[in-house]
Structure 1
Amino acid sequence: MDADPKRTVAELLQSAELLYDLGQVPDARAEADAALRLDPLDPDANAMAAACALADNDPDEALVYAGAALARTPGHRRAMITRGYALADAGRRDEAMQAAASLLELDRTSWLHHVHYALITRRAGAAQPALDAAWNAVNLAPDQPRTHRALAAIAEDLGMDDLAKRSRRAAADLDPGGAAAFAEALPPEARRVHRRWVDADRDDPRWREKIGSGGLFGGALGRSILLGLAVVFAVPALLGTGMDGGARLFFAAVAAAAWVGWFTVLRRHRNPE
């Protein structure tokens, strides 16, 4: 659908921001795309598209849009933040750490930058820097619930249960309404759309492409094949009492291998966030 000529880029981005904050990522992305059709080089529109792509578990696309925003406006805060998370999600640990550090170089007095530094480095697997940054955020803004929530999330990852509980309690005291939705209270850039184990929705016009994506055993089609093999070979292995012992052992081995493959692929395609 073409962008409404009566709506400006600013109006489209305002709508996208609201939808994004509400967790309606596809609708927010549609508004960002409409803004980009009006001005493909607009840094705010590119940064919003990057944030939506990241939330939709596509760090590579997020990096493209974030790069476009930074090319037009170096130091664009949202683009820098999104780029850091995207690099971490893409497994580019060293670059993610550098991107996180650039946030502190931009403004070391910003508690929000320390929160994002902590959560980006947490995703990149650097536990101690993440914990230190989370503490710095709390010290800079002890009255901000988000600093305590970030510290709680990182402490929980590190098995520091007492610290996590105290931090959650502090956040709840500062923001009683947000305590029940702790997981959703982290910065939007740290959230991801939860994927069902089936890659393609039934109403998605690209369902055929998505089912076969990722190679023979990389998508939903591959998982279905592995599951079918596991069931087909498990039945005679379990119920074929009249079969030769060697044959039953063979069927059992194939079924076990198919089950292992199915669980491995399923786990790889589930996003833990």
Structure 2
Amino acid sequence: MNYLEISFESIPEEKKEILIALLSEMHFEGFEEQPACLKAFISKNLFDEEMLQQLTAKMQLDYATSELPDVNWNSVWESNFQPVVIGNCALRASFHQPIKNIQYEIVITPKMSFGTGHHATTFMMIQQMQAIDFNHTTVLDFGTGTGVLAILAHKLGAAKVVAIDNDSFSIENAAENFSNNHINDIELKMADNAKAQGSFDIILANITRNIIQENFRLFNLQLTEGGLLLLSGLLKEDEKSITVTAVNSGFQLKHKLEKGNWICLLFTKNK
């Protein structure tokens, strides 16, 4: 299978993370970051140049395209993936040495799934989760990706964790990561919304604004009274619309984190 390399030169750092998130939604499968430069990789048969042109015009970016046959994605991400330490939690790959003096260590093989801790949204979700009491709770990880948040919820003491995603590759990757962390009791399901997944004390959703807004009513129905809804995948500019939708859906903002252009919002369900 042939791949395309899309190079973005002279890209400001504040735009780089936003671009990665948007390209991920357009089937781009890998990224290589360099100072003032970003390289993005996509299967040739999934490339939509018209959609890319619309995005780059909106963001005022230029790009160049070249063809790359037979990309070895394991080599690509292994060469770029470094361990991440967030509070008392460390994320590393299996080829890294164990990290000392850390309470929660998670081993992941990210491949094409989202959730390595490097991105601001995953970083803040992990940071905020460590400030929440997960002991004996039931948890839904909505859009699990690599499964990293589900794994951390389990390690933080959750009694039951359900992880869902609508992407078959993410389901496969999450299952592999659960096994790598010797966890066999997380319930992993293929699903594209929160409907009929059960009743939960905590819902985690690190996904896009539109999907979050579409599922607020279901989040409310499935959270216990006083339950917590932790959200990211959101830009600062999304805060107002998300908060309005949350309040109208029976939630109250409890805490906010910011990192770069991204935010992480913790809501509690009204009793």
- TM-score tier by shorter-chain length is under 0.3
Question: Which structure would you say has the larger RCO, counting Cα contacts within 8 Å and 6 or more residues apart?
Answer: 2
TM-score norm. by structure 2 comes to 0.27
> Which has more strand, going by share of residues?
2
Computing the radius of gyration from Cα coordinates, the structure with the larger value is: 1
